[in-house]
Chain A
Amino acid sequence: MLAFIVRRLIGAVIVLIAVSFITYLIFVKIPGGDPAPRIAGRTATEANIADIREKLRLNEPFYDQYWGMMQSLFTGSLKSYSSQLDVVDQIKGGIPATVSLCVGAGIIWLSLGILVGLISAVTAGRWSDRVITILALIGISLPVFWLGLISRYFFAQGHPFSFLPDGEYVPITDNPWQWFVHLLLPWFVLAILFIGFYGRVLRSNILDTINEDYVRTAKAKGLPYRRVLVKHVLRNSLIPIVTLFGLDFAAVVGGSAILTETVFDLKGVGWYAAKAVQDLDLPPIMGVTIYATFFIVFFSVVVDLLYAWLDPRIRPT
């Protein structure tokens, strides 16, 4: 067990270095990526730009720049090029909104995804299955920016009814009820894609598992249908869902809820990342990349541990 964790930690560090380095490389190589002229502004002289280059160490070889940026990132002194604000502080400031959004949405999409998958598998081939399948495919296909705007229009801006507040994040410590109602729409908008997707995956897992010999054994023991379904079929069908959920959840916490956060004006990490990319602002991009990578690596370890707990066959002996 200890060896496993140590091995994964070493792997995590290697992944972090590789991801940050590749991101950095992409950024310095894209056309128009040179930050000095942009920071200097339209009326800048050559001397201004050269000055900024010197200050940002842009004349040094790129690996030295990379190393310098990593050092300042991990010591917490990295500043944005465009706003001069501290990157680590900005990310920290975005975490409450992002985590609130992701935890709520995660709970919704996991529970509704399981419910949807279970219902459509149990009624496979009947009308309820078909309706659910169509709804799931619609859910998967709806673009988040469109769905977000439409749901704001209908439910938050008074056309035809409005019972939810429009956008913005209220910290849970300020007002838990306002926190909840402000997040309700973003939660569902973010969750809908995953509900459809998880429902489809779980449906096919269940239909595979239901034909397993051990399910027949369970029936032959005289267990009630519901118990066979939950304890033998669902229990085994959920194992792959755990992997999916771990990685998807890591991705949204890591900032890939960019669209939802932007549409609903939730100033979370994804929103911050979107802004940084728009401004071609290298330091926050690096910061968010490291932050996202950390979550993905962390949750994949969690998934592996959960897996071992769920499936005795892969437990280390």
Chain B
Amino acid sequence: MAERLIEVSDLHVHFATEDGVVKAVDGVSFELQRGQVLGIVGESGSGKSVTAMTLLGLTRDKNTRFEGEVLYKGRDVLKMNEHELEDVRGNEMSMIFQDPMTSLNPVYTIGAQIREAIQIHERADKRVARARSVELLKQVGIPNAESRVDNYPHEFSGGMRQRAMIAMALACNPDVLIADEPTTALDVTIQAQIIELIDRLKDEFNSAVILITHDLGVVADVADEIVVMYAGRVVERAATRPLFYDPQHPYTWGLLGSIPRLDRPKQERLHSIKGTPPSLINAPAGCKFRPRCPHAFEKCKEEPSLENRVEEPGHLDRCWLSVEEKRRLRVPTLAGTEEAA
């Protein structure tokens, strides 16, 4: 049995703002085993990034309230003090951010920024840390790593910067690598390379990965399990195959239907989910997806719980429709032939 690294149970993250309390994450649970890739998928504002940052304690603020548990190897991250957190960050759990253009400090060399974490966590001297940085840059596929290590971020292209970010995140050989939309700011051709790189390095470094994205297509090949988030909640959670072949929640159908596909007849327009994600201050009562759901009915005014409704164990969803109805109703949406609304 693989080692369980992360166990999030019933996590709530609420931000107090001038307009009211933003319930960015509202009851999220998942687990992560060593060697596993977990995909967290959802639109902007679904709470996926907040969830990820909370794993590292990066959402801590005087206006933030947490509930639930985030266990890392049995220790609750939410209860750690700043010093304990600093030991975990970058060392046992590390993070890759969305925009490599702004996520690197412009005034330090790439090498200096990779070195920093090594020097702090492993108390390595500068020469050792530098050699390690060069090694890491080679591993993430930067050519001429010996000389490029002394370049500044502006001398790197977007894809190379994201590789450098990955090298930085892997510098202390972390158990968990959290990648928050690592490919969103990159060219399509580079996206696949980066995802492949993360997947390969996960095995080399024997870690687990949480891959956050709004694009189900990105995680299809690499994720073992997928969590679909909507309005701060998990609406569907399943192993990757069942999620793609037997999706249960209308929101998941919408996400799947909006992926352009070459193996289907060409359509006039790509499928889109009508409307916008709800306000997280005054979320709709009942099912949060109800206002945008073409299949909503009376019962949806009450919120369904996240439970197993299909034959496949461990495949959870939050939808009142019967499994038969779902399998019938989803066909046009998945094929993208019908606008869902």
| Cβ-defined contact, B107 with A221, below 8 A | no
A94: min CB distance to chain B, Å: 39
Q: How many Å lie between the Cα of A235 and that of B82 in the bound state?
A: 23
B40 at interface by CB-CB < 8 Å: no
A313 touches B154 (CB 8 A): yes
Given A219-B89, A222-B87: A214 touches B152 (CB 8 Å cut-off): no
CB B217 to nearest CB in A, in angstroms, measures: 25
Contact B90 A222 (CB under 8 A): yes
Would you call A217 and B97 a contact (CB within 8 A)?
yes
Instruction: Chain A residues near B107: list those with CB within 8 A.
Output: 235-236, 239, 310-312
Return the CB mask of A211-232 against B: 1 if under 8 Å, else 0: 0111011111111110100001
Are the CB atoms of B90 and A221 closer together than 8 Å? Answer: yes
Interface centre among A212, A217, A232 (most CB of B within 10 A): A217
Residues of A within 8 A of B94 (CB): 220-221
Question: Lowest 7 A-B CB distances belong to which pairs?
Answer: A222-B90, A222-B89, A221-B90, A213-B102, A214-B105, A221-B117, A312-B152
Can you offer 9 A-B residue contacts whose CB atoms are under 8 A?
Answer: A216-B58, A220-B90, A222-B89, A222-B121, A223-B86, A223-B117, A310-B107, A312-B106, A312-B154
- Residue ID in chain A nearest B151 by CB atoms: A312
- With beta carbons under 8 angstroms apart, the residue of A212, A213, A220, A313 that contacts B89 is A220
Within 8 A of A (CB), among B83-123: 85-91, 94-95, 97, 99, 102-107, 113, 116-117, 120-121
Give Cα A217–Cα B117 distance, bound, in whole angstroms: 11
Contact of B56 with A by CB under 8 A: yes
Which residues in window 137-154 of B have CB below 8 A to A? 152, 154
Other-chain contact of B103, A214, A222, A223 (Cβ < 8 Å): A214
In the complex, what distance in Å separates the CA atom of A263 from the CA atom of B61? 49
Residue B168 at the chain A interface, CB threshold 8 Å: yes
- Tell me whether A313 and B152 are in contact in the complex, defined as CB-CB below 8 angstroms, given that A221-B116, A221-B120 are known contacts: yes
CB atoms of A222 and B91 under 8 A apart:
yes
Q: How many residue pairs bridge A and B at CB < 8 Å?
A: 75
A8: shortest Cβ distance to chain B, in Å?
Answer: 24
**Alpha-carbon distance A107/B200, docked complex (angstroms):** 54
Q: A239–B121 Cα gap in the complex (Å)? A: 29
A221-B116, A232-B105 provided; 13 other pairs, C-beta below 8 A?
A212-B102, A214-B105, A216-B103, A217-B165, A220-B56, A220-B90, A221-B120, A222-B117, A223-B116, A224-B120, A236-B105, A312-B106, A312-B152
Shortest Cβ gap from A53 to chain B (Å):
61
B97 and A213 form a contact (CB under 8 A): yes
Nearest-CB residue, chain A, relative to B95: A220
Q: B296-335, CB under 8 A of A: which get 1 and which 0?
A: 0000000000000000000000000000000000000000
Hey, which bits of chain A sit against chain B, CB under 8 A? 212-214, 216-225, 227, 232, 235-236, 239, 310-313
Chain B interface size band reads 20 to 34
Alpha-carbon gap, A287 to B211, bound state (A): 69
In the bound complex, CA of A227 to CA of B82 (Å):
14
Chain B residue at minimum C-beta to C-beta distance from A310: B107
How close is A214's CB to chain B, nearest CB, in angstroms? 4
The complex places the Cα of A310 from the Cα of B152 at a distance, in Å, of: 12
Taking the closest CB of chain A, its distance from the CB of B132, in whole angstroms, is 14
CB B103 to nearest CB in A, in angstroms, measures 4
Q: How far is the CA of A269 from the CA of B58 in the complex (A)?
A: 54
Residues of A within 8 A of B113 (CB): 217
- Tell me, rounded to whole Å, the shortest Cβ–Cβ distance linking B81 to chain A: 12
Question: What distance in Å separates the Cβ of B23 from its nearest Cβ neighbour in chain A?
Answer: 22
How far in angstroms is the closest Cβ of chain B from A205?
A: 14
Return chain B residues, CB-CB under 8 Å to A217.
Answer: 97, 103-105, 113, 165, 168
Instruction: Determine the distance from Cα of A135 to Cα of B336 in the docked complex, in whole angstroms.
Output: 64
CA distance A217 to B120 in the complex (A): 14
